[in-house]
Amino acid sequence: MKLYATVYQEAKAEYITQKSRFIAHISPVDSCDEAKAFISSIKSEYKDATHNVPVMVVGDKQEIQWSSEDGEPQGTAGAPILRMIVERGLTNLAIVVTRYFGGIKLGTGGLVRAYSTSARLAIDKALLSEVREAIVLTYEISYSHLAQIENISKTGVFNITKIEYTDKITLEISGDINRKQEIIDTVTEVTAGKCKLLKEESRKNKFVIDSAPMLC
């Protein structure tokens, strides 16, 4: 079950226009504190820059949305980046777009395009991803059933995330929480009921959904 869309990893992108250099850094985050720490680290690294424009969106339903123009004209820097992120349905991420002024004023439209393009390039490199709720089941099975379960995992019904070998095998598998009963029935059938469910829990898993450049 999809919980939200975000970016898969940290990334950096550069964009130059009219001699101004824009450097965008992006990172997935899990909280406001994590977003603030990321923003602070980028500002510290580029403290000699003309502007460091920060943006964050946090919460599975984009509950927290914040941006700053950092000295740029109102509505030309952080605001358009934030609007783009929200409209694309992305959340739990932080972006800082750094600008080194090149001596030529870009105007309102030029600033909006430059900051938005820089952020978009960083998102492209970070890769779009979905965070989904998964069911994680830990079983105890016999060695004789392992090969069959490994073969079934290749069909995509579930993934094997951990195997421990003792006198028996302890197997951790995960899959879409909406397919929980199907997974349980499959393992039960393969082992002819000779399996022991040790633990059941839900977990957030992140999956890359698009590695192609974003269009806007």
CATH code for the domain in which residue 180 is found: 3.30.70.240
**Which of 96, 126, 156 delimits the end of a domain?**
126
Q: How confident is the model at residue 212 (pLDDT cuts 50, 70, 90)?
A: very low
Q: How confident is the model at residue 192 (pLDDT cuts 50, 70, 90)?
A: very high
**Which of 126, 158, 174 delimits the end of a domain?**
126
* Residue 80, domain member (yes or no): yes
Lowest mean pLDDT segment, chosen from 17-21, 34-38, 151-155: 151-155
- Both 64 and 116 in a single domain? yes
Q: How confident is the model at residue 210 (pLDDT cuts 50, 70, 90)?
A: low
Q: What CA–CA distances, in Å, run from 71 to 46, 74, 75?
A: 15, 8, 11
User: Are the CB atoms for 65 and 82 separated by under 8 Å?
Assistant: yes
Domain of 100, in residue numbers: 2-126
Helix (H) or strand (E) segment spanning residue 116: helix 107-126
Does residue 179 carry a pLDDT above 70?
yes
Q: How confident is the model at residue 211 (pLDDT cuts 50, 70, 90)?
A: very low
CA angle, residues 112, 65, 94, in degrees to nearest 5: 75
pLDDT mean across residues, the chain: 94
Does residue 213 carry a pLDDT above 50?
no
- Structure tokens, 5: 């869309």
Task: Tell the residue number behind the tokens 């992305």, with chain if given.
Answer: 90
* Residue 216, domain member (yes or no): no
- Both 193 and 99 in a single domain? no
Does residue 59 carry a pLDDT above 90?
yes
Residue 61's pLDDT is: 95
Q: What CA–CA distances, in Å, run from 47 to 10, 42, 52, 127?
A: 20, 8, 8, 27
Distance CA 140, CA 193 (A): 11
Total domains, the chain: 2
